[in-house]
Structure 1
Amino acid sequence: MNVVALRAFPEETRPAPIDCHVDEVAVFDNFAAAEAPWRALEATNCTLATPYQGYDFLNHWQAHLGAAAGIRPAIVAGFNQSGRPLFLWPLGLRRLAGLRVLEFLGGKHANFNMGLWQRDVAAAIDAPELRFITRRLAEHADLMMLTAQPLTWGGTTNPMAQLRHQRSPNHGFSGALIPDFEALIRVRTNSATRKKMRKKERGLADMGEVRFERATGARQVHRVLDAFFKQKSARMRQLGLPDVFAAPGVRRFIEAAVESKDGRTAPIELYALSVDDMVVATMGGIAARGRFCAMFNSIQPGRYAAESPGEQLIVRLVRTCCERGLDTFDLGVGQSRYKHLFCEDAEPLFDSYLPLTGAGQLPALAFSAAAAGKRALKQHPALWSAVRTVRRMRGRLAPAI
């Protein structure tokens, strides 16, 4: 653990005192050392955080994926004079072309990246103090690449938006929930759409007994994950996209995160829609602070696909979320037609490429330019359609594994 005392901030440039000002910063190089302040922030309703930055979720990710990828924890936490944790940034350190790079832990398995903040601190901390904190990290890294950060969360602006940043290539997509699901579905659909949905429900029921369930036991989890990985692999091959779920350790990560241990709630919830013994659709997600965040999903191709089993699973899952009293449902990052039914709100995301040393200056510019180019490409419908067509052609030509 490394501690940087913020009392060294020059008096003439130090920001005006705030009620919960940061007095010191610690950089933890392992999860065990960071657990106490991390769980303290998670335990209060006054904390601003996404479900993806939970201690248990990222601890499983680091154990099964991060460590194998050469990522070491570099968890940054700020404390006030009495030792109360004010914020925590769950970061990891990796080597990239000789550079020391700090990124959010979770990789591609976290749709949204953000620190954990006491809300009053998030509202009060200013850009000079944030820059001062990040500059003190130069002894650990050359560059910070903080991507897929929500501009706002829980009605509060992300404090990191005060630092230099640019719009991400993608948006997140979410929708508000209400306790009365039937009222919600009437607001989100018209009579013709509801009629079409009922017809598809009958079509699926004609093929066998339809069951929607959350997978909890080891045997049930194994069955649903078998279906998910097979279905996802086929879909990614069809689209010509890399399958991040095919990487070594991903299944072990998900299995570990679906299982509850030591009386704690399992970080990942796993759901399935089945027709008789066939799993025809799956979805995994993570819930906290009134919001359900979908992480991954799949559908069985072939005759079942015509009845939109993925949409039918989402409808049932949203009903469950309404009954649980959750207030927001999201289907992650990136635009797709299936998201429009319940997730019509586009949430802006931003990326920050912050050099910490001279060695990080040019790479920061290069990564920033590459991300801006990707965003420009996605905003040009004809060009982006051409890219997707080439990917699909490549997927059809690729040999099946």
Structure 2
Amino acid sequence: MQAQKVQTQKLDIAAMPVAAEADDGMRVDIFDSMAPLEAEWRALERDDFTSLHQSYDWCAAWVETFRYPLALIRGSVDGRTAFILPLEIIRTHGIRRAEFIGARHSNINTGLFSGEFLETAESGLSASQQAEIAQALRGRADLMVLRNVPLEWRGRKSPLAAMPAVENQNHAFQLPFLGAFEATLKQVNAKRRRKKFKHQTRILNDKGGYEYVIAAPDQRDALLDLFFRQKAVRFEAAGLPDVFQDAPTQTVLHRLLELRSEERSYAALEMHALRLKGEHEGHIPAVAALSRKGDHVICQFASIDETLVPEASPGELLFWLMIERLHREDAALFDFGIGDQTYKRSWCPMETTQHDLILPVSGVGHAAAFAQRGMTRTKAAIKANRQLYGLIQRLRARRGSSDAPVEEAEKD
């Protein structure tokens, strides 16, 4: 099925300011609607380097729902598009930040770059190119903050790596696929994994069995709503704010369920679940949402219901089933997303450090950038200290429930 096209507001391109040409021949333009860039945007996103979170359909769903002002940066050389940075302007505490569209719920951001630019821009965006980007944003934003950017990804260096950067407090965790399922398992102790899988299966079979569900079109919305309910319980128990509770976020996630293309191996959001049979017929103790772009699969979020069969670790069992299936579908990398949690480390031999890139635009933006870097470094230092971070998590949990889980703070 072809990906659904989301309508975007069309504005007069002639009225848009155009930045001057950089010293090295790079021309930087800025747009405040997506439609004029659609063709070149879709061409750039085909590269495996580009995160799904910067794909046209993913961004359009967020734009149409939240309707923040846009500042879409296009760099071109000799008339050929070199890169697109799809940004939206968010104002908090009087500061206007240009951020990747939908960054609050992104696991990895890369921007979009042509293959030619990735190969030739070995030193990344030059100082003059960065200055032109800042000039293009002047009057629209006080600073540009690009969060969760890996400086190297899929074997290539990011052109954004030349920008001022601070390490993000959250790392991401991935499981590379090595052809056969058994070969992949050997990266994470295959014997222990198989033993645990057999134990989980035996527990559930004794209670009547289970089935692995990939939601059909008429099941997707209900399963996503179940995730919202399950996750709300977990957040409350852990004493954490529910980042999925606001109506616009729930609306855009429902919209993403419709965006898929078998031809391009693209699925913006796909719902998976474990459903019990027999004694607890119909009960769903684990839900996960996967996104796919090419051979890269991301677990965007997951939830569990521990009121039944917690001893079977249904969430872990669901990951086994999803990963086993994806081996048959030519995936190359299963991404557990950002957030350091025990279950992710148990599955993942690969840990990716991400950075926040901060480019001041205005005078107040310089002060805000200083504060932003300091806050991020403080969070990173706390998370690097396992004893201190564990204490903070336990204190959070006690505010909610004495027996609450303490592994829910993934993106704070």
Check whether TM > 0.5: yes
Residue 332 of structure 1: how far off its partner (Å)? 0.5
Report the equivalent of 1:252. 251
Counterparts of 1:196 and 1:41, CA distance in 2: 42
Are residue 38 (structure 1) and residue 27 (structure 2) matched?
A: no
Are residue 72 (structure 1) and residue 69 (structure 2) matched?
A: yes
Counterparts of 2:202 and 2:129, CA distance in 1: 56
Report the equivalent of 1:4. 18
**For the aligned residues, what is the CA RMSD?**
2.1
Q: Which moved more, 1:369-378 or 1:117-126?
A: 117-126
One-letter identity of the residue aligned with 2:18 = V
Report the equivalent of 2:307. 302
Are residue 60 (structure 1) and residue 33 (structure 2) matched?
A: no
Aligned with 2:347 (options 342, 347, 351): 342
Report the equivalent of 1:103. 99
User: CA 1:364 to 1:105, structure 2 compared with 1: closer, same or farther past 3 Å?
Assistant: same
One-letter identity of the residue aligned with 1:98 = G
Residue 163 of structure 1: how far off its partner (Å)? 1.1
Counterparts of 1:389 and 1:378, CA distance in 2: 14
Report the equivalent of 1:81. 78
Counterparts of 2:319 and 2:217, CA distance in 1: 22
**Conserved? CA contact 1:108–1:244, under 8 Å:** no
Report the equivalent of 1:241. 240
Matches within 5 A, 1:386-401: 386-396=391-401
User: CA 1:260 to 1:146, structure 2 compared with 1: closer, same or farther past 3 Å?
Assistant: closer
User: CA 1:41 to 1:378, structure 2 compared with 1: closer, same or farther past 3 Å?
Assistant: same
SS of 1:74's partner is strand
Counterparts of 1:55 and 1:292, CA distance in 2: 17
Counterparts of 2:225 and 2:134, CA distance in 1: 46
Report the equivalent of 2:275. 274
Report the equivalent of 1:128. 127
User: CA 1:187 to 1:147, structure 2 compared with 1: closer, same or farther past 3 Å?
Assistant: closer
Counterparts of 2:61 and 2:114, CA distance in 1: 24
Counterparts of 1:190 and 1:135, CA distance in 2: 50
Report the equivalent of 2:138. 138
Report the equivalent of 1:18. none
Counterparts of 2:310 and 2:274, CA distance in 1: 12
Deviation beyond 6 Å, 4+ runs, structure 1 = 261-264
SS of 2:351's partner is strand
Residue 191 of structure 1: how far off its partner (Å)? 2.6
**Conserved? CA contact 2:220–2:270, under 8 Å:** no
Cα offsets for 1:290-326 (capped at 9, x unmatched): 1101100011112322101111111111112211111
Structure 1 gaps of 5+ residues are 16-20
TM-score normalised according to structure 1 size: 0.88
Cα offsets for 1:179-200 (capped at 9, x unmatched): 3113322442243442232011
Q: Which moved more, 1:246-255 or 1:154-163?
A: 246-255
TM-score normalised according to structure 2 size: 0.86
**Conserved? CA contact 1:216–1:258, under 8 Å:** no
User: CA 1:252 to 1:208, structure 2 compared with 1: closer, same or farther past 3 Å?
Assistant: farther
SS of 1:376's partner is helix
**Conserved? CA contact 2:19–2:30, under 8 Å:** no
Residue 5 of structure 1: how far off its partner (Å)? 4.8
Counterparts of 2:128 and 2:167, CA distance in 1: 23
User: CA 1:135 to 1:196, structure 2 compared with 1: closer, same or farther past 3 Å?
Assistant: closer
Counterparts of 1:135 and 1:295, CA distance in 2: 31
Matches within 5 A, 1:157-236: 157-218=157-218, 220-236=219-235
**Conserved? CA contact 1:76–1:91, under 8 Å:** yes
**Conserved? CA contact 1:25–1:79, under 8 Å:** yes
Number of corresponding residues = 378
One-letter identity of the residue aligned with 1:52 = H
One-letter identity of the residue aligned with 2:249 = V
